[in-house]
């Protein structure tokens, strides 16, 4: 197998991990005003992701770095053409991180409400725009013969792209509700489980519409199989949530998102960014790749450090595996961050 194909697959795996892990982070943030009726309840929700949210973002950093090093032409065209939506995502992620750190600094209700709003919008914007961005990568964008993006921002807001954004938004909401049901106890747990079933049904309809559209446009047998597995996993997760099996429910949405992303990359391959212009040049794993020597060095580095990162993150989830509830949160929290 060529190293260009290997690195395309590795980048796909990184995005699978990012969406499956950061997806429930976004979901928890968006559900903060829905399931958190009191400050202590909102504190419980924040604490479910407090130990892991920043570690989950490492997948995005590595995916971006790997794309820059392995496929520099893809990286350059992507960031020049998608500059505004990617900038909005970056700003949202920055202020979202600030919300985690600053919310607890003052025992003032208005102060906390403002940071809760920042956390909500800082989760909603990436959840929506990541779907829009990936839908445009799959659909194709105007790229000329010099591999330059020639469109504008509004070229990205097509019905297909907006449907992709709606899909990721609803899937992350469902995934977040499943995670809250898994990680909490008491009234929050049962409310989250009930909400997860309702959200899951809507998310399933939208996901089937988007993945079906994608399959008709660019899919093949491999992507069709991946989409089928993702759909079955999502339905299984919803059924498990309805039966009160939170662990299996969360596993269902986790697999659905990860395998669904895999299907999108299978539908995209061997392109990395198709061109919609008649005389344009599509970016592929061949013409967008770095030199063979660069890919060899990257492969050695990835083989050494990837297992270490995976082991550390698995250890983190194991340490913070227990459920939390309102009675674990003191009435007044003066100087403690997410824990």
Residue 324 within a domain: no
Q: In angstroms, rounded to a whole number, what is the distance separating the alpha carbons of residues 228 and 197?
A: 20
The whole-number pLDDT of residue 104 equals 86
Cα gap 134→65, rounded to integer Å: 17
pLDDT at 202 over 60: yes
Quick check: 44 and 183 in contact, CB under 8 A? no
Q: Which residues contact 149 (CB under 8 A, 6 or more apart)?
A: 77, 80, 81, 141, 142, 143
Residues 277-324: tens digit of each pLDDT? 877 788 899 989 999 999 999 999 889 988 888 898 889 888 888 888
Q: Which residues of 28-41 are buried (b: 16+ CB within 10 A; e: fewer)?
A: bbbbbeebbeebbb
- The pLDDT value recorded for residue 146 is 79
145 in a domain, yes or no? yes
pLDDT tops 60 at residue 337: no
Q: Please check whether residue 135 is in contact with residue 109, taking contact to mean a CB–CB distance below 8 angstroms.
A: no
Whole-number Å distance between alpha carbons of 257 and 315: 22
Cα 19 to Cα 169: distance, rounded to the nearest angstrom: 11
- Structural domain boundaries enclosing 294: 3-319
Residue 254 lies in a domain: yes
Give CA–CA dist 150/144, Å, rounded: 7
19-28, 251-260, 274-283: range with lowest mean pLDDT: 274-283
What pLDDT sits at residue 332?
60
Query: pLDDT by residue (tens digit) across 31-85?
Result: 999 998 888 899 999 999 988 888 899 999 999 999 999 999 999 888 888 888 9
Look at residue 296 and tell me if it is in a domain. Answer: yes
Q: What is the pLDDT of residues 243-258, one digit of tens each?
A: 999 999 999 999 999 9
Contact 112, 103 (CB under 8 A): yes
Using alpha carbons, select from 130, 269, 260, 252 the residue that is nearest to residue 207.
Answer: 260
Which CA distances in Å does 42 have to 81, 109, 327?
A: 38, 12, 13
Tokens 């040049």 sit on residue: 281
Which DSSP symbol is given to 279? T
pLDDT in tens, 104-161: 888 888 999 999 999 999 999 999 999 999 999 998 888 888 778 887 777 788 999 9
CATH number for the domain harbouring residue 75: 1.20.1630
Q: What is the token pair recorded at 170?
A: 């609803």
Task: Determine, yes or no, domain membership for 331.
Answer: no
Q: Which of 255, 251, 260, 156 is nearest to 208 (CA)?
A: 260
The number of domains in the chain is: 1
């Amino acid at each position: 197998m060529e190293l260009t194909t290997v690195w395309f697959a590795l980048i796909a795996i990184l995005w699978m991990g990012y969406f499956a892990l950061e997806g429930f982070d976004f979901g928890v943030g968006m559900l903060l005003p829905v399931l958190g009726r009191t400050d202590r309840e909102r504190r419980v929700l924040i604490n479910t992701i407090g130990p892991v949210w920043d570690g989950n973002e490492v997948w995005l950093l590595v995916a971006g770095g790997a794309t820059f090093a392995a496929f520099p032409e893809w990286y350059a065209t992507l960031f020049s053409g998608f500059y505004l939506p990617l900038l909005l995502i970056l700003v949202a992620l920055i202020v979202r991180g600030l919300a985690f750190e600053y919310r607890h600094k003052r025992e003032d209700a208005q102060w906390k409400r403002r940071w809760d709003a920042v956390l909500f919008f800082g989760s909603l914007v990436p959840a929506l725009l990541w779907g829009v961005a990936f839908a445009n990568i799959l659909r194709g964008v105007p790229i000329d013969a010099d591999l330059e993006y020639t469109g504008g921002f509004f070229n990205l807001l097509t019905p297909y792209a907006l449907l992709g954004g709606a899909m990721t938004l609803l899937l992350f909401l469902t995934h977040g509700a499943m995670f809250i049901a898994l990680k909490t106890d008491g009234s929050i747990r049962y409310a989250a489980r009930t909400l997860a079933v309702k959200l899951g049904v809507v998310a399933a309809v939208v996901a089937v519409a988007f993945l079906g559209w994608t399959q008709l446009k660019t899919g093949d047998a491999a992507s069709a199989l991946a989409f089928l597995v993702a759909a079955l996993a999502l339905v299984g997760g919803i059924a498990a949530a309805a039966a009160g099996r939170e662990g299996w429910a969360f596993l269902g949405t986790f697999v659905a998102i990860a395998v669904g992303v895999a299907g999108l990359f299978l539908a995209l391959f061997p392109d990395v960014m198709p061109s919609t212009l008649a005389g344009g040049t599509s970016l592929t794993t061949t013409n967008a790749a770095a030199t063979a020597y660069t890919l060899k060095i990257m492969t050695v580095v990835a083989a050494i450090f990837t297992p270490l990162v995976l082991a550390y993150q698995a250890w983190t989830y194991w340490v913070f595996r227990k459920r939390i509830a309102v009675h674990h949160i003191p009435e007044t929290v003066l100087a403690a961050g997410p824990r």
